[in-house]
Every structure is written in structure tokens, then in C-alpha cells.
Amino acid sequence: MDLKVKKSQKPLQGAIRPESDKSISQRLILFSLLTEEECVFEKISSALDPRSALSAAACLGLEYRLENDTLFAKGPGIAGLKEPDRPIYCGNSGTLMRLLMGLLAPSRIFAVLYGDHSLNNRPMARIAEPLRDMGAVIHTRRGGLAPIAVVGGDLKGTDFTLPVASAQLKSAVILASLHSEGQSRVIEPIPSRDHTERILAHMGAEITRQGSEIIIEPGRKLSGIKMKVGGDFSSAAFFIGAGLLREGSEIILDDVNLNPTRTGLLKVLERMGASLVVDETEDVEPIGRIKVASENLCGTVVESVEVPLLIDEIPLLAVLAAAAEGTTTICGVSELKVKESDRLSGIAELVRLLGRECAIKGEGKNLTLEIYGRPGEFEGGTYDPKFDHRLAMAACVAGLNSPEGITVLNAECAEVSQPQFYSELKRLGAQIEE
């Protein structure tokens, strides 16, 4: 479906709870395979990626039932994993495919993983290589692409330094290390999301951090876990952006996951002059409330070390930067080229559609995005996000500042992470037309 979003007559007002965190939901589903005790997950995400994870886990022997938004799950343990009788479909989820590679590597089963067209063309060699160094047998399509065949077997511990900041790569190696022979160390030069370490440690895994090193002692029996899934910060970010962009708006976001390895955007927005009030409570994952009000923004510099902490929010940040006074420079953005789409090119196209200029400079790890912003309303037009949910939602938020409006093609792709995104925006007062 195509949707047109344009500047509404009135500011946005109201309170919402964002869609539950899909990254955490997927991890909880997969990790429940590794314990024979029951796990209970409240507020599990209903987005497409967690649904793909649930289907994949069921193929491997997970028994579960859903009662409203609470998932009751009981796994077979690593030794009891069921060998699937058909390839496992991972949908559009890189998290699912990459974590499954690590989870299955020390098992005693054979499995084939594949996804949709986009996922089958995303790089998997960087996951396969460190697992192979541990002794895993992993076959990929030419170029390190899916479909992927994993032949589970005995692994040895590893000392592995992440070549790039990647929570998915880190998680795959940690999962493989849980059932390897000997201690493993994962060195993380730049911090990335730590959901995997937090959750597995809560389940009984011996995972400790010493500076930039994560140390994994194998062989610990994992226990069941009961946990409430907070709202997805990446989802909340688009509502934060809506509140900042549409003058006069006031939005409250409840029950949001505030893990500091996910909320780098908040620090950047504060530097840009955003009006934000954050209250949090501590749990396995910190959860809290964010109050946001519209504000005049100014440009800033986002350093490479910050990018892993806000990688999914860069399309939204680019839209806000386009409305800010001055230049915003985002360093170290090469990973955007290998997301669900070439997200870097998609961002540049969107910024120019809004009537602002931008530039992509450098190469490799030094790739930099510069956005030359200015206050005032955006121009409009038609935007093709190429089925990338983050780009689609960023374009919709941008439309809130466009009297002409922005028509987003195939806008339903937002369901990958936020099934209720458009209905929630409408409830806040956004003008959205099919």
C-alpha cells in the first residue's frame, strides 16, 4: 500500500507504548531453546521478525503457547535440538539468521537457513569465518551469502576481536562459545548492543566483562527466565522524531527499553537542543518513560564510536538534521550500505526530496554522511523506501513537516518492526491518507 503523510493542522499530542523490542524478543525466543526449563516473556513483540524467530525455533523443537502478548516457551536444550526436516526460513531478519548460525554451530544437527531476497543478499561471511575458526562446518553461497548450511559439531574456544562493531556478530560467537571446549574471549573495540550478554547471564551463563573483553566460560546449565519486554527504542525513536519535528507537539512514550547500548540517539539529540525528559527503572533491561516536545534543533557531529549505539536510528536522525540549523556530520556510516537496503543511498535520496542537500564523503570505515540542514518546512513528493522499514518510517516522519506531503510507496514494509506504526501516528494527530 502507498500512504501519503502531510503536515497536520494541529500539533501531535498524546501518549503511546511503542511496539515491544524486536531484537530482545528474537533473542529471548532463541535462547529459550537452550534451557529445558519454562520461560515466560511478557509483552513479546508481534512484529514480523519475532514471528519468524518463533517459527524457526519451533522447527528446532521449541514448544510454546501464546496467551495475548505473553509467550510461554519450553526448549529441548542444546543436546535435544530437533533436526529440521526442511530449510528454516528467516524472513527479513539478519538477527535471526546470524544468531542461529552461532546457536547451531555446536549442536549435533544439520540445518539450512534462508531468507527473503533482501536477506539472501546480505553478507554472512563475517559470521561464518570466526565460527569456522572455532571448528564449525558452515557452507554459504558464493560471496558468503545465504542460503547457509550449518553442520553442528565440536568447537574449541576462541580469542576473537570484532573487526567491526556488530552485536549480531558478537552474539553469534558468544552463543557458539557457550558449548565449546575451553574459555572464549571476545574483544570489542567499540561497544555494541549488549542484550545477549545481559539475558544469557541472567539465565545462568558465566559471561563477564573486563574492559573491552567479554569472557565466556562454557558448560554452564541455563535456567528458565521470566522477563517483560520493553518497548523498542528504535521504534520509539520515530515518535520522538515526530514530536521534535512538528512544532507545538508533546508526546509521552511509556515502557521504553533504555539500555544504554541502544540509546545513543538521545545523547545526540540533546546536543542538537532537543527537549527530552527521561525517567527509568532498572531490571534485566532498563525500562522507562520519555517525554518529548518540539524544539528548534542545531547541527552536530556524530563520531564513529557513537554510530553502533544508534545505527538503526540514522534514517530518522537524517530527517531531523535536515530541519536543523547548520551541518550535521555522521562519521563511520559504511554499515548502512549492507542493511535491508543500501540505506545510505536511501537516506541521501530522502534528504534531497525534502529540499535539502547532503554529501557522502570518504570510503571504507571512513565513510561520512554530511547533511546541510535549515529550519523550515520540507518540500514533498514520492519516495520509494525499497521495502526498507526504517526508511519508510523516516519518510513518514518527514511528511509531518511537509505541507505538500510525502507519498511513501509500499509503506506496509514498516510492519517488519512496527505493525501499528501508522495507526499510532494517526492517534497522535498525524494526517495520513491511503
- The string of pLDDT tens digits covering residues 310-360 is 999 999 999 999 999 999 999 999 988 877 789 999 999 999 999 999 999
Residue 417 is predicted with a pLDDT of: 78
246 vs 137, 280, 302, 316, 428, CA distance in Å? 52, 26, 23, 14, 11
Q: Where in the chain is the domain with CATH 3.65.10.10?
A: 3-20+230-433, 22-228
Residue 335 is predicted with a pLDDT of: 85
Residue 385 is predicted with a pLDDT of: 96
**In 238-384, beta strands by DSSP E:** 250-257, 275-281, 287-293, 301-302, 326-331, 357-361, 368-373, 381-383
Q: What are phi and psi of 56, to 5 degrees?
A: -65, -45
- The string of pLDDT tens digits covering residues 388-431 is 999 999 999 999 999 999 999 999 999 877 888 999 999 999 99
35 within 8 A of 223, measured Cβ to Cβ: yes
- The string of pLDDT tens digits covering residues 23-70 is 999 999 999 999 999 999 999 998 889 999 999 999 999 999 999 999
Task: Identify the architecture of domain 3-20+230-433 in CATH.
Answer: Alpha-beta prism (3.65)
**Active site residue: 312, 342, 384, 388, which one?**
312
Alpha helices in 323-388 (DSSP H): 343-353
State the number of CA atoms in the 13 A half-sphere of 131 facing the CB.
Answer: 37
352 vs 324, 339, 400, CA distance in Å? 15, 21, 16
- Region of residue 330 (phi > 0: left; psi between -120 and 50: alpha; otherwise: beta): beta
Residue 360 is predicted with a pLDDT of: 95
312 is a catalytic site residue: yes
Q: What are phi and psi of 34, to 5 degrees?
A: -90, -5
Residue 340 is predicted with a pLDDT of: 75
- The string of pLDDT tens digits covering residues 194-250 is 999 999 999 999 999 999 999 999 999 999 999 999 999 999 999 999 999 988 999
Q: Is the dihedral of CA 6, 7, 10, 13 positive or negative?
A: positive
Three-state secondary structure string covering 175-219: HHHCCCECCEEEECCCCCCCHHHHHHHHCCCEEEEECCEEEEECC
The span from the CA of 343 to the CA of 176, in Å, is 30
Q: Is pLDDT at 282 greater than 80 in this prediction?
A: no
Q: At what angle do helices 22-31 and 94-104 cross, to 10 degrees?
A: 20
- The string of pLDDT tens digits covering residues 127-164 is 999 999 999 999 999 999 999 999 999 999 999 999 98
- The string of pLDDT tens digits covering residues 287-296 is 999 999 988 9
CB atoms under 10 Å from CB of 279, counted, come to: 9
Q: Which three cell numbers stand for residue 170?
A: 558478537
Query: Amino acid identity, residue 159?
Result: D
Residue 3 is predicted with a pLDDT of: 95
In DSSP notation, 149-177 reads EEE----B--EEE-SS--HHHHHHHHHHH
The dotted CATH code for 22-228 is 3.65.10.10
The closest alpha carbon to 214, from 170, 260, 169, 262, belongs to 170
